[in-house]
């Protein structure tokens, strides 16, 4: 009983420590948001006109784009998890934690939870900016909440992948490079920014079935009522649960054995 209690309280102590960063250094939050806002602005005004309103679900490109950009934001946020852990490791803080009689999962748990909280805030900022560009929720209030929720859960799952990468790579620069190497091809070869209909067949098969498309389309279902392919949500749930089941033990194992 005590063990479960300590798993939770230790995670909360570390979460608080990580969130204090954003309170003390608000510019971190600013820079977490500025890049996605830039993406949103560029994509909306550069591609929006060319794509036209008839070629995307939701009537306007911004309605289609915003959930996609949010997906990317969640992934970028997840990368921060690994960078933060690698940074703590380099400064010897992880060694201190490992020498304490505390939960072995709390250091990563506290980081992923804090990053999820940060993701909620960044998502709200993004939705506000999107609203200025004409974005509207078309599927009701509760579905809008569900959209944010599914985004954040997806980001949380990827934070654990990133935690494993960060603890394995050992320094923040490598962690960042290793993560972006995967994120860029994955976000572009997906339905995050554009529908997959015009992609060559081989790419489309990949794009339609990979988790980024699944989460972007699920988010569109909740935000603008876009119909989704059958089993999209089941597959997404399968991915999220699968990632957590694989990467939580991997990350904790890495933390335990870090020599």
Partner 1 sequence: MSAFEIKDVYKYYGDVHALDGVSLKAEEGKIFGLLGPNGAGKTTIVRMLSTLLSPDKGSATVLGVDVTKEADKVRRSIGLAGQFAAVDEILTGRENIEMVGHLYHLHRKEVKLRAQDLLERLNLADAADRPVKTYSGGMRRRLDLGASLVVRPKVLFLDEPTTGLDPRTRLDLWQIIRDLVKEGASILLTTQYLEEADELADSITVIDHGKIIAEGTSDELKRQFGGDVIEFQLSNASDQDKAMRAVAAIGSKLPSFDDSTLSISIPVRDGSKVLAEVVRALDAAHIEPALLSLHRPSLDDVFLSLTGKKTEATEPAKPHGKRGRK
Q: Could you list the residues that contact partner 1 (CB under 8 A)? A: 6, 9-10, 13, 17, 20-21, 24-25, 90-93, 95-102, 106, 170, 258-259
DSSP class of residue 196 equals: G
Q: How far is the CB of 13 from partner 1 (least distance, A)?
A: 5
* Beta carbon nearer to partner 1, 62 or 252: 252
Q: How far is the CB of 104 from partner 1 (least distance, A)?
A: 9
Q: How far is the CB of 165 from partner 1 (least distance, A)?
A: 17
* Beta carbon nearer to partner 1, 100 or 245: 100
Tell me which residue of 191, 147, 187, 225 sits closest to 36, measured CA to CA: 187
Q: What is the Cα–Cα distance from 82 to 24, expressed in whole angstroms? A: 21
Q: DSSP characters for 92-147?
A: THHHHHHTSSS-SSHHHHHHHHHHHHHHHHHHHHHHHHHHHTT----S-HHHHHHH
* Beta carbon nearer to partner 1, 54 or 257: 257
Q: How far is the CB of 118 from partner 1 (least distance, A)?
A: 14
* Beta carbon nearer to partner 1, 55 or 96: 96
Q: How far is the CB of 251 from partner 1 (least distance, A)?
A: 17
Decide if 192 contacts 216 (C-beta within 8 A).
yes
Tell me which residue of 117, 123, 3, 12 sits closest to 73, measured CA to CA: 123
Tell me which residue of 9, 25, 53, 89 sits closest to 224, measured CA to CA: 53
* Beta carbon nearer to partner 1, 91 or 231: 91
């Amino acid at each position: 009983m005590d063990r479960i209690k300590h798993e939770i309280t230790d995670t909360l102590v570390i979460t608080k420590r990580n969130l204090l960063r954003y309170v003390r250094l608000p510019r971190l939050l600013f820079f977490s948001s500025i890049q996605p806002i830039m993406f949103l602005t560029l994509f909306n005004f550069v591609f929006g006109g060319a794509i036209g309103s008839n070629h995307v679900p939701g009537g306007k490109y911004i309605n289609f784009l915003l959930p996609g950009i949010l997906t990317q934001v969640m992934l970028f946020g997840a990368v921060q998890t690994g960078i933060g852990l690698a940074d703590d490791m380099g400064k010897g803080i992880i060694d201190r934690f490992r020498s304490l009689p505390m939960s072995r999962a709390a250091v990563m748990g506290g980081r992923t939870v804090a990053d999820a909280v940060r993701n909620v805030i960044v998502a709200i900022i993004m939705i506000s900016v999107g609203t200025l560009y004409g974005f509207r929720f078309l599927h009701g209030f509760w579905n809008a909440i569900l959209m944010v929720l599914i985004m954040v859960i997806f980001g949380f799952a990827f934070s654990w992948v990133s935690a494993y990468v960060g603890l394995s790579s050992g320094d923040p620069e490598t962690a960042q490079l290793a993560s972006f190497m995967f994120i860029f091809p994955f976000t572009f070869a997906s339905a995050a920014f554009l529908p997959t209909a015009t992609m060559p067949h081989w790419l489309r098969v990949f794009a339609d079935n990979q988790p980024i498309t699944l989460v972007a389309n699920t988010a569109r279902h909740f935000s603008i009522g876009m119909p989704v392919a059958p089993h999209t949500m089941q597959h997404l749930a399968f991915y999220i649960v699968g990632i957590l089941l694989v990467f939580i033990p991997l990350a904790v194992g890495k933390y335990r054995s870090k020599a």
